[in-house]
Structure 1
């Protein structure tokens, strides 16, 4: 996980490890309210990875209860998801 040490992982709470865990797979989130965070995709199937992720966030356009849509980045579909907008 070169360059990912100490990066924030989506969904982790205070007291959780400070960065990504060895042996886990991550994609980097680009753009939108979760920009720069890592998403743990350990165990996701190829179909799940191709579908992207709809992630809960209180910092998006819709505030608490809203979600941000992240889709695979065509330039690096297995390593990076790009923001595709917010939804309530």
Structure 2
């Protein structure tokens, strides 16, 4: 199993021992980029909240502390598309 297969269907930011989705939460799928296939918990997020998220990741272009930027897909709040990586903020 490669890293991409291992990550698919897991929840971004969840503890590795308990990274599966929970039935009482709402998730969006991250599409493309280094976090492709991970689920983002959007349970408390409204449609009016920012459509863009910058998620910390060690496997993006900028390594540890870098961020991958995902934007909510128009008309489909259940998917966030990758837009690129950015260096972390100091």
Task: State the TM-score bracket (shorter-chain normalisation).
Answer: 0.7 to 0.9
Deviation at 1:7, TM superposition (A): 1.6
Q: How many residues align?
A: 80
The answer for the alignment partner of 2:57 in structure 1 is 57
The residue matched to 1:15 in structure 2 has which SS?
helix
TM value normalised by structure 2 = 0.80
Q: How does 1:6-85 map to 2 (within 5 A)?
A: 7-17=9-19, 19-48=20-49, 50-74=50-74, 76=76, 78-85=77-84
> Structure 2 stretches of 5 or more lacking a match?
1-7
> Structure 1 stretches of 5 or more lacking a match?
1-5
| Moved beyond 4 Å, runs of 4+ | none
The residue matched to 2:69 in structure 1 has which SS?
strand
More strand by share: 2
